[in-house]
Amino acid sequence: MNGKLADCHVAIIGAGPYGLSAAAYLRAAGEEIRVFGVPMAFWQNQMPAGMCLRSNWGASHIADPKRELTLDEYCLKNGNHVSKPIPVERFVDYGLWYQRRAVPDIDERPVRSVEIHARGFKVFLGDGEAFTSRRVVVAGGISAFATRPAQFMGIPSALASHTSEQNDLRKFNGQQVVVIGAGQSALESAALFKEAGIPVEVIARTRALNWVGLHSRLHNLGMISMMLYSTRDVGPVGISRLVAMPRLFRRFPRCFQDRTAYRAIRPAGAGWLQSRITGVPITLGRRVVSAAVVGSQLRLRLDDRTERLVDHALLATGFRVDVSRYPFLSQSLLRQLETADGFPVLNRGLESSIPGLHFLGKPAAWSFGPLLGFVSGAEFASNALIRSITRKNGSN
Ligand X SMILES: Cc1cc2nc3c(=O)[nH]c(=O)nc-3n(C[C@H](O)[C@H](O)[C@H](O)COP(=O)(O)OP(=O)(O)OC[C@H]3O[C@@H](n4cnc5c(N)ncnc54)[C@H](O)[C@@H]3O)c2cc1C
String of contacts with ligand X for each residue 36-75, x by CB under 6 A: xxx--xxx---x-----xxx--------------------
8 Å CB contact between 147 and 131: no
In sequence order, the β-bridge partners of residue 297 are 294
* Distance, CA of 154 to CA of 246 (rounded, Å): 40
How many residues interact with ligand X (rule CB under 6 A)?
30
DSSP category for residue 345: P
In the complex with ligand X, the residue whose CB is nearer, 354 or 360, is 360
| Binding flag, residue 375, ligand X (CB under 6 A) | yes
Q: Which of 3, 110, 271, 349 binds ligand X (CB under 6 A)?
A: 110
In the complex with ligand X, the residue whose CB is nearer, 356 or 363, is 363
* Distance, CA of 273 to CA of 280 (rounded, Å): 12
In the complex with ligand X, the residue whose CB is nearer, 343 or 374, is 374
| Binding flag, residue 269, ligand X (CB under 6 A) | no
Angle (deg, nearest 10), helices 71-78 and 88-102:
90
| Binding flag, residue 142, ligand X (CB under 6 A) | yes
| Binding flag, residue 139, ligand X (CB under 6 A) | yes
CB 356 to ligand X: min, Å: 18
**Which residues make Cβ contacts (< 8 Å) with residue 356, sequence separation at least 6?**
1, 120, 121, 134, 135, 136
Q: Which of 6, 11, 13, 277 binds ligand X (CB under 6 A)?
A: 13
String of contacts with ligand X for each residue 279-318, x by CB under 6 A: ----------------------------------------
Start-to-end Cα distance in the chain: 11
| Binding flag, residue 98, ligand X (CB under 6 A) | no
CB 396 to ligand X: min, Å: 28
Element (H, E) at 138: strand 130-138
8 Å CB contact between 291 and 160: yes
Element (H, E) at 393: helix 378-395
Which residues would be at the binding site for ligand X (CB under 6 A)?
A: 13-19, 36-38, 41-43, 47, 53-55, 110-111, 139-143, 185, 328, 361, 374-376
